[in-house]
Amino acid sequence: MDFPRFYARIKAVEGGAGQDATDPKILIGLWLYAISEGVASAREIDRLCTTHSAYRWICGGVSLNYHLMSDFRSAHGAALDDLFSQLLAVLMHQQLVSLKRVAQDGTRVRASAGAASFRRQPRL
């Protein structure tokens, strides 16, 4: 997999040092595993990194906190969505997963039609 979008912010450039940071592969791995397990909260991932063996293994001894996880997801939201979509497509192509169940996130959307627009015969 190609990760240059995730390294762009921490890369050293001419005239300046790179930013000290946790390897994005660890953070991507944690988010990917957490989402596959139904965990979408940075605080919950932080808790699991100290109590769950799989999360501790992904961290590999690197200490993390929920703020780092949350900031990473916020800063790389579009890139993570794209990466996870590509991964899901590969898994579906290999017939390792199927989308038998689709869930709605519960977002409320305000209707833009007024009550009067539904009371006339031509508009029904």
Q: Are 32 and 55 in contact (CB under 8 A)?
A: no
DSSP one-letter string for 6-58:
HHTTT--BTTBPPPP---HHHHHHHHHHHHHTT---HHHHHHHHHH-HHHHHH
- Residue 57's pLDDT is 93
- Written as six digits, the tokens of 16 are 């300046």
Domain total for the chain? 1
Average pLDDT along the chain, 124 residues, taken 10 residues at a time: 68 64 85 89 93 92 87 86 86 84 67 61 59
Containing structural domain, residue 34: 23-97
Q: Is 114 inside any structural domain?
A: no
Q: Is 13 inside any structural domain?
A: no
Q: Is 50 inside any structural domain?
A: yes
Angle between helices 66-75 and 77-93 (to 10 degrees): 80
